[in-house]
Structure 1
């Protein structure tokens, strides 16, 4: 006889009323109770509420024998008597009352969760989790949301500002539906579409030797100290690449986490920086157009490949794609 056949023939230790003995019930793998019990919790709660199987069956729209068997199986799985039978009526045992309190909390939480995800997917009033770069926060993103909500006034947004790599990780983790980032990412698990490009300028202190210039070749700044974003930021990678294309490696004096902080460091005379235009002109600096190499950063929208969109996310994605070439203000 095979070992599988022996296992099938082995008796199961059972306690009172045919329920598994406590030691047998305790052998269930961790996490399996929810899968085992969840389909019968609402049925048990209905019987407990009515204290009558027939009336509960009518409310739940299931045959009375089916409901009776479900509650008996629940008791057997738990190894505990939950209901005392009195003819056609039932009453809760002490164990049943304790179990019911937790069951009602669990069912209420499931109801709230179901309502929340249904609300987030509502085409007219759902939610979009949207990430974007800090530099797009002052003007670009508020303008986009305002334009989108002209036709979708009740759609809600969860907004997340961060640097590119951090946003892509949150996209992969399911925390974001869409993100605006630069440079446009290339990854097998993501879909990305280029939307626009933004010119970068060489920002220098207003008393700098180059401050009177309108245009400059980046190679002319090869000897300058640079202030840049930290490694891992998209703008840092673009800065390094542009400097390499100009024939030098930037001498980094300070590293930061936010573009406007870098602009302040430049104003303080601590170096020069390659930055996108500010939302509001910053005193103390001069901003020069870089003529060579072509100094731009491409901005795109990214989302997780194969991830199904809710109606509000799909609508906002279509809106963003319709803004190709006119994403940025001005």
Structure 2
């Protein structure tokens, strides 16, 4: 009777009423104990199976009922049986514990040195050839390591690093931020891409200033290549007249092939018909490629191995 009165008091509105977050923090450590007692319907046997002192387990169950404000067990000596409320609670507890078990298995699997996972981001322009070649070379010594691959522009990948969604990313320009660690790996020359029937198409080399009167197609503001394009044109003494902005380099090549402008781009993975790619002799047109990760972020063994591999490719990252 006293126990029932206590439960009713907890159920009535008061200053002691806990919000959901408080309840979860109180209940979480006791859920496995509750499930064990519910499964065996015997406090002594449950304590032996879980290797917990019987007195500790008994107190935990009483405190759990106090925190919830309901009776979960009907007690007959050391034998217990679930009340209707206890059965309802047990179903949810078992699902929660199973989900926690699956999550634990998943994170352990991702950290396994031989079969773990690397969340790896890279620029769209590196997806056709560079990244497949890197992963192929890495898996010679690590054949079962798995990859979660994300293609995006530089700033978006850095935000994913900060959010914990990526372990590493290849990006350009190489970032300089206090919360990130970045290492320069290689350099990629840029070319002026013109339509195949353009007056400049007969040339092999060009000074960028010679394209000052051309219409440009570029990536959108915020993309690394857009920043580099703006900087190089400024260095060449002009501001580019931009007709189209896009999100992907090969789309820009298609626009160039259609005669809609010229573009500064890294070399393609495969030749694109309808365009000619000119070497830019001045100013020096190149972009640095680097690898970045979150400073202070601990590496799992597969991430550490792939990071070492990338750093070992310094100066030899890009296909020749």
Give yes or no for TM over 0.5: yes
Distance 1:21 1:170 in 2: 44
Paired residues of 1:25 and 1:78 also in contact (CA < 8 A): no
1:29 equivalent to 2:31? Answer: no
Runs of 4+ displaced beyond 4 Å: 17-20
**How much has 1:63 moved relative to structure 2?**
1.0
User: 2:107 maps to what in 1?
Assistant: 117
Matches within 5 A, 1:1-330: 16=4, 18-19=6-7, 21-22=10-11, 23-24=13-14, 27-330=17-320
**How much has 1:28 moved relative to structure 2?**
1.0
Distance 1:97 1:74 in 2: 14
Deviates more, 1:211-220 or 1:18-27: 18-27
TM-score, scaled relative to structure 1: 0.94
**How much has 1:29 moved relative to structure 2?**
3.2
**How much has 1:247 moved relative to structure 2?**
0.6
Aligned Cα RMSD in Å? 1.3
Paired residues of 1:259 and 1:275 also in contact (CA < 8 A): yes
**How much has 1:193 moved relative to structure 2?**
0.5
**How much has 1:148 moved relative to structure 2?**
0.6
Distance 1:112 1:225 in 2: 55
Distance 1:240 1:293 in 2: 12
Paired residues of 1:25 and 1:79 also in contact (CA < 8 A): no
How far does the alpha carbon of each residue in 1:256-281 deviate from its partner, in whole angstroms, 9 at most, with x for none? 11101111111111111101111110
Paired residues of 1:204 and 1:286 also in contact (CA < 8 A): yes
How far does the alpha carbon of each residue in 1:172-216 deviate from its partner, in whole angstroms, 9 at most, with x for none? 111111100011111111111000000000111111111111111
Paired residues of 2:10 and 2:17 also in contact (CA < 8 A): no
Aligned to 1:77, the other structure's residue is in SS state helix
Distance 2:16 2:254 in 1: 64
Distance 2:146 2:15 in 1: 46
Query: What is the number of equivalent residue pairs in this alignment?
Result: 317
User: 1:11 maps to what in 2?
Assistant: none
CA shift in 2, pair 1:24/1:115, >3 Å? farther
Q: Which runs of 5+ in 2 are unaligned?
A: none
TM-score, scaled relative to structure 2: 0.96
**How much has 1:15 moved relative to structure 2?**
6.3
